[in-house]
Structure 1
Amino acid sequence: MEVATMQNINFVKFSELYNWSVQYLLDDQFSYNKDFPLVAIGKFLKRNKTNILIENDKTYKRVTIKTNKGGVFLRDVVKGDKIGTKKQFKVKSGQFIVSKIDARNGAFGVVTNEVDGAIITGNFWTFDVDYNLINPHYLSLITTTPEFIRFCEKSSTGTTNRHYLQQDLFLEVQIPLPPLNAVNAIKQGLSTAITQEKLVADYNQKIKQAKQAEKNAISKEAEIQTYLLNELGVKSTLTVSSKGLRFVKFKDIDDWSSKQTDPNNLLFSSKFVNKKIKEIAEVNPPTSFSKLDKDLEASFIPMTNISDVDGEVKLYSPGKVSLSSGYTKFQDGDLLWARITPCMQNGKSAIVQGMQNGIGYGSTEYHRIRTESKVLTKYIHLLLRNDMVLNSAKNYFTGSSGQQRVPKSFLENLSIPIPPELIMENIINTIYQKRGEIKLENKLSEELKKQAIIDFENIIFNTQAE
């Protein structure tokens, strides 16, 4: 007869038992840095209930808390007569605010000056913060970590779709709390190497470097815009004056809207021949898969697969001819250009290349441009991502405000400079090189942001040891 072992039995001190959920107890296995004391959240957060009765003739600021640790922002400013719930609560700058419904999804943060004095309903909780114990920036940082999200998940109960944060459980959860600063560390007989102040400073330094990389990328993008127009002899007209008279030849009128910029003059070059795109390329050429085997593999490229930052396809998803019905169809070498707002304004366009069997399908919101020359296609792509073109295209929108689209005629009638192919190639190579530099700057920015959080978590939770 086998002797029963106790290897699967967990023992918990009664004094530490503040949630009788088995899952809660089994999940409560965090790897903390043992150099820091564990302090219950309730030691530095105290519930504040500043009641306010909404008056119809007064104006109020309302708060929104974005999930996924998005932070606290101003939702809107409305008159009291538009607010249904009359009994609400008032918040002030520096407080910690939590959505009791979406806390497990990262809906919490520190109240900013922008929303100071705003109102919230009973679905939100406000806490005063003892900043003698915790640095406000450290509090903001620690709430961005996966461990803090787990705290909120563990402290929430309810049905699948409506998990409510339990205040008592939440306030009893313990988090690692280094000394506030070097002075406090010395008073507590602890090392001054790691303090809340130092952790925040190290984090901010990396974020500062990340923001500088972003600025570098933006600056290089501006250089591309200027370089392209200068090389082509095109004058920049990013804003169109509505004052005075503007004369357009009758033969050049493609649309009667007074807001529209003359497509013949938008990119007019004083150095090279100018031609409409429809004279040198096909816009939305017929593309049929009807004669192809239904099981033939193809590439699927929904709008989300195209980067509006790089102007490239991020992912060629697997697909089949049999699944292409109802989608826009295209072939290798085609230029896809988003025609719908806001994708168009964001520059979401790309040249597709290397698709399965040279064919693909995707969003019905693509315009397609096809030429016989790879050089010409790349050149047109660069022009169509220029801010002047994107800004002008907005004036040609058709449809309702939420579903506005640029018509095919805008692309067909857009006149562009046509330099000799060697000059085109030189322009393309120069801009592609600069775009490569932009990619590196953006990549550096993202890596620095990630590393800032990773370094913070490694120190606080010993995650590097896991």
Structure 2
Amino acid sequence: MSIAAKIHPRAFAIEFKDLATWSVAAQFVAEWNWPQEVIKPLGRILKRRSEAALETLSPETMVTLLTIRFDGSIEPREQIQIKGIKGRLFRVYPGDVIFSKIDVRNGAIGLARDDIDCMCVTSEFPVYSVNIDKVLPEYVKLLFRTTIFKKLLNSMISGASGRKRIQPSHLERVIVPIPPLRVQQKIVAYWSDAQSLISAIKRSIETIQNDSEKGLLKRIGLQIPPVIPRKGCFTINLSQNERWDTFFFRKDFISLDDQIRSANYTTLGDSLNFISRAWKPSDFPKGSFEYIEISSVTKNDGITHTRSVSVQEAPSRATTLVKAGDLIIATTRPYLGSFTIVGKKHDGFVCSSGFSLAESLKTEALDKEFILFFLKSEAGLRQLERRMSGGLYPAIVQSELEKILIPTPPLKVQKEVVAAYNNGLAEIQRLRIESKKISEEAGQQIEEMILGVSSVEDI
């Protein structure tokens, strides 16, 4: 038997007085390792708030609806008038506990922030005021996010598959540990300290990313200008008019273009051999291949995942066979920087037609990794942004991609820039691993403290 829960055998008996619902899963029993006087129903510390918005506000009042994410964070949506919403709205006040009936079991519970004006939610989001004389709102949030509590929630779900909900009345009857406030404060402080360390690491990563790129671009003679949109009327030489589009002539685009052209440069089309490499069913005798979608590639991590696809059911966009050493450039939403050089691990995979593929270099004066660094830098992304077209899914066509300007400093400088960039990436990876370790250890410690199997006094 686990310290966390009593696991029933295949056949078991429940006394009728203990039977809340006709569900085997609902008979899950949490075993909190606390003195009995600490174990109390949630209804003792949370009071349901059902204040209809129209009780205190007019239909014309602008209110802020809320989004609750699975990590417990709460984000405001755009403000809207009450009369523009179908159904009833309910008021939320700073410090209130809010959860999603459908997604609370996935972690969608949070505390209302104090920097959002006139918060409201629909009836799908129960709201509770917290009895701060007995419990800290932050402790409630940590409690709700423990593994054992999520199991309890899953034992209470009801409704059709895909729309299963936790009913507030069931939630309020759940028995949980409510230790003295000083103990709760220690648990919350431990979590806050861990989050402060993680936030400090995130700031360090951002500093490395920003300072490293700026320094390396400066070394090749480039300084990224601030975004400067055009206002009013302006004139250009007809010889400079590549397209009838005022956005194309944004001042920072022109400034960056002038900086690159003031030194040695070439174009992407003159630097790389772009090809189309179709695959054949015979390339995959096992009947399936690993597919690299645009969402599989990120600016900072390259190819993060792939999915196995049957040759017989291959998506229409799964068109291109990739080999180690290929440079693939996402042409849909290119400003996201989803570009990478294919490694040996992904040799022989298939990528989406949303990538442009370059097999090799046309010149020995350029390093392929330097080209990749430059394309993912702000200097490269600004040029891609300038030349893309389209509304909802902006993209860059091949002819425009090949017009991207690439500086050509001495090869020695290129290799030094790439080495420094890779060192920065290695440090970022180290910091991410450290952050993940702190997060996992803190989560485990919080779990054990709330279960009561780890002493709070020892932290």
Q: 2:66 touches 2:119 (CA, 8 Å); kept in 1?
A: no
1:12 Cα deviation after fit:
5.8
Letter in 2 for 1:428: V
**CA–CA distance in structure 2, aligned partners of residues 365 and 430 of structure 1:** 30
Task: Identify if the C-alpha distance between structure 1 residues 430 and 224 changes in structure 2 by more than 3 Å, giving closer, same or farther.
Answer: same
Partner of 2:328: 336
Q: Give per-residue Cα distances to partners, 1:304-332, cap 9 Å, x unaligned.
A: 3223333x222355567764764241332
**What's 1:265 paired with?**
257
What's the CA shift for 1:426? 1.5
The 5-angstrom pairing of residues 412-427 of structure 1 reads 412-427=402-417
Which amino acid in structure 2 is aligned with residue 460 of structure 1? I
User: Root-mean-square deviation (CA), in Å?
Assistant: 3.3
**Deviations 1:262-292 (Å, cap 9, x if unpaired)?**
598266165x521111112134x12133495
Amino acid at match of 1:151: L
What TM-score do the two structures reach when normalised by structure 1? 0.83
C-alpha displacement of 1:106: 3.1
1:288 corresponds, among 274, 278, 285, to 278
Report how many residues are paired. Answer: 437
Find 2:190's aligned residue among 191, 194, 202: 202
State whether structure 2 residue 268 is matched by structure 1 residue 277: yes
Structure 2 counterpart SS, 1:113: coil
Q: Which amino acid aligns with 1:278?
A: G
For 1:298 and 1:89, the matched residues in 2 are separated by 51
- Find 2:66's aligned residue among 57, 64, 67: 64
Consecutive unaligned residues in structure 2, runs of 5 or more: 1-7
Q: Does 1:406 align with 2:396?
A: yes
- Measure the CA separation in 1 of the matches of 2:404 and 2:50: 60
Aligned residue in 1 for 2:4? none
Contact 1:61 1:115 in 2 (8 A): no
1:390 is displaced (CA, Å) by 1.5
**CA deviation map 1:163-189 (0-9, x unaligned):** 2323332111111222211xxxxxxxx
Question: Residues 430 and 41 from structure 1, CA distance in 2 versus in 1: closer, same or farther, beyond 3 angstroms?
Answer: same
Structure 2 counterparts to residues 45-444 of structure 1, below 5 A: 45-53=46-54, 58-85=60-87, 87-115=88-116, 117-181=118-182, 195-240=183-228, 242=230, 247=236, 250=239, 253-260=241-248, 261-262=253-254, 265=257, 268=260, 270=262, 272-283=263-274, 285-290=275-280, 293-295=283-285, 299-310=290-301, 312-315=302-305, 317=307, 323=314, 326-329=317-320, 330-341=322-333, 344-355=334-345, 358-372=347-361, 376-400=367-391, 402-444=392-434
SS in 1 for 2:194: helix
**Would you say the 8 A contact 1:65–1:107 is kept in 2?**
no
Unaligned segments of structure 1, at least 5 residues: 1-5, 182-194
Q: Match of 1:72, as an amino acid?
A: I
CA distance, structure 1, for counterparts of residue 345 and residue 144 of structure 2? 43
Residues of 1 paired with 2:331 and 2:370: CA distance? 19
Corresponding residue for residue 186 of structure 1: none
Contact 1:339 1:365 in 2 (8 A): yes
Contact 1:305 1:313 (8 Å CA) reproduced: yes
> TM-score under structure 2 normalisation?
0.84
Query: Cα gap change, 1:280/1:36 in structure 2, threshold over 3 Å: closer, same or farther?
Result: farther
The verdict on how the C-alpha distance between 1:281 and 1:459 changes in structure 2, with shifts beyond 3 A counting, is: same
> What is the distance in 2 between the residues matched to 1:306 and 1:389?
17
